[in-house]
């Protein structure tokens, strides 16, 4: 079986809007009430996938969830037409586009049964995200339906908040070898909530059948959460044997390094000091919410948003340290401004799955031709703009539902309707 890293990006949905629902996410709060551009947002996301293909990477997709979520509103005893505006915004949220929160993934070499395990995230901390998991789980069960190679789990009970791969990292010498899995949880974040619960992380490690000696539970630093790092992937990212992190990412940095150095020959830390890049700059630029990938040419590449290039301290650090020394050899810049304005960078938009692409349902895999077709569906059907004041207007609701239907029909995934 030829294991490869596959990036599954969430297609940005036609209801993409700036309702400012995510407390602790500074960009989401800052841009609350602004006019969003769903069509431009989706096309930016598809162009990012196209850039990944150009690097020689395997690329997959997840589709937007049904919006408004009429079933969720019905369970609350209301409808999209009659509910309070805050419920309407939650029911229309397109935040499932951030596929890093879809699930936590443990590749086959790490698990005791030799299957790739995926546990869908419950996302219980935020009301607008807490109703995503049934729709996400339905996609996971189709995309990874080959039970010989995959095991897909229900969410951890909602008493324990779990926000998926955004708080999980894997280090390994090669994708086909057993790796180290690091689960990052929060305890406190000052004024902001800590979203990942330690017990949720422990439950997932048990469900996935991981080797306890190669599994570490890491506390995210309170300082990072308080500064706006609502998920670990805002301050740290790993790829193969490289951990790229801010100096203030973890509560006990030395314990993380000791664990990795002992168990992974060739482990490399690329650490950015606060003196060079203050944590505020790291968070607003999403330097670490980047895709750290290994293209076939062997040049480990950091895919950053345009905001990283526009932040002087960040770009100065990258120009000094990338390619000239160390394992990261190249930087690629992508425009995902519409996602960034809602608090999601390149890493938020993708879920990494190490698997043989041939074992994945082909409807969830893309090439340039399929991306061209998807782009045309978006151009024809996605709203150009959305004002949050219009989220309950019948015309917008009709357009959003029709757009998703057109996408599902184009992908032959109407069972998700």
Structure tokens belonging to residue 44: 């930016």
User: Do 123 and 129 contact (CB within 8 A), yes or no?
Assistant: yes
Structure tokens belonging to residue 92: 């229309």
Structure tokens belonging to residue 58: 């395997």
The answer to whether 231 is a known catalytic residue is yes
| DSSP state string for 230-253 | -SGGGTEEEETTEEEEETTSBTTH
Q: Output DSSP code: residue 146.
A: -
The answer to whether 163 is a known catalytic residue is yes
How is the beta sheet containing 301-305 ordered, strand by strand? 291-293, 301-305, 330-334
Cα separation of 185 and 167, whole Å? 7
Element (H, E) at 204: helix 198-207
User: Do 264 and 270 contact (CB within 8 A), yes or no?
Assistant: no
Selection from 235, 186, 246 nearest residue 345 by Cα = 235
7-18 as b/e: b if 16+ CB within 10 A: bbbbbbbbbbbb
Q: Is 180 strand, coil or helix?
A: strand
User: Do 13 and 377 contact (CB within 8 A), yes or no?
Assistant: no
Which listed residue (128, 131, 163, 208) is catalytic?
A: 163
Which listed residue (175, 197, 208, 231) is catalytic?
A: 231
Cβ neighbours of residue 288 closer than 8 Å, sequence gap 6 or more: 233, 234, 235, 236, 237, 244, 245, 246, 249, 282, 347
Q: Output DSSP code: residue 157.
A: P
| DSSP state string for 277-297 | S-HHHHHHHTSSSSEEE--TT
Cα separation of 99 and 176, whole Å? 23
Question: Among positive and negative, which fits the CA dihedral 182, 100, 47, 56?
Answer: positive
Cα separation of 267 and 324, whole Å? 19
Give whole-number Cα distances, 309 to 284, 333, 335, 344, in Å.
12, 8, 11, 16
Which listed residue (128, 246, 307, 348) is catalytic?
A: 348
Active-site positions read 163, 231, 348
């Amino acid at each position: 079986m030829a294991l490869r890293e596959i990036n599954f990006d969430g297609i940005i949905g036609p209801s993409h809007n700036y309702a400012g629902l995510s407390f602790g996410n500074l960009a989401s709060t800052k841009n609350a009430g602004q006019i969003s551009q769903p069509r431009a947002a989706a096309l930016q996301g598809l162009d990012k996938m196209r850039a990944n293909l150009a690097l020689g990477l395997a690329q997959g997709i997840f589709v937007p969830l049904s919006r408004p979520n009429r079933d969720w509103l019905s369970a609350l005893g209301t409808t999209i037409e009659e509910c309070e505006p805050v419920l309407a915004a939650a029911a229309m949220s397109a935040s499932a586009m951030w596929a890093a929160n879809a699930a936590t993934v443990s590749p086959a070499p790490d698990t005791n049964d030799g299957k790739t395990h995926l546990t869908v995230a419950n996302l219980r901390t935020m009301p607008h995200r807490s109703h995503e998991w049934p729709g996400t789980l339905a996609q996971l069960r189709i995309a990874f339906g080959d039970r010989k190679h995959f095991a897909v789990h229900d969410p951890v009970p909602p008493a324990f908040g779990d926000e998926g791969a955004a708080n999980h990292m894997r280090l390994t010498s090669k994708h086909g070898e057993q790796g180290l899995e690091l689960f990052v949880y929060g305890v406190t974040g000052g004024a902001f909530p800590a979203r990942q619960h330690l017990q949720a992380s422990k439950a997932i490690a048990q469900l996935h059948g991981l080797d306890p000696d190669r599994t570490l539970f890491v506390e995210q630093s309170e300082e990072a959460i308080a500064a706006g790092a609502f998920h670990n992937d805002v301050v740290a990212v790993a790829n193969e044997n490289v951990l790229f992190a801010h100096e203030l990412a973890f509560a006990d940095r030395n314990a993380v390094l000791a664990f990795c150095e002992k168990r992974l020959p060739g482990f490399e830390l690329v650490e950015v000091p606060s003196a060079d890049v203050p944590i505020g700059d790291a968070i607003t630029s999403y330097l670490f919410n980047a895709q750290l990938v290994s293209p076939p040419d062997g040049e480990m590449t950091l895919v950053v948003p345009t905001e990283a290039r526009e932040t002087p301290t960040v770009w100065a650090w990258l120009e000094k340290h990338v390619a000239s020394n160390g394992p990261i050899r190249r930087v690629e810049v992508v425009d995902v401004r519409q996602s960034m304005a809602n608090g999601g960078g390149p890493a938020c938009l993708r879920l990494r799955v190490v698997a043989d692409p041939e074992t994945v349902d082909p409807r969830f895999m893309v090439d340039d031709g399929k991306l061209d077709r998807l782009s045309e569906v978006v151009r024809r059907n996605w709203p150009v703009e959305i004002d949050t004041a219009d989220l309950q207007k019948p015309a917008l609701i009709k357009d959003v539902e029709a757009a998703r239907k057109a996408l599902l029909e184009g992908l032959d995934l109407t069972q998700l309707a």
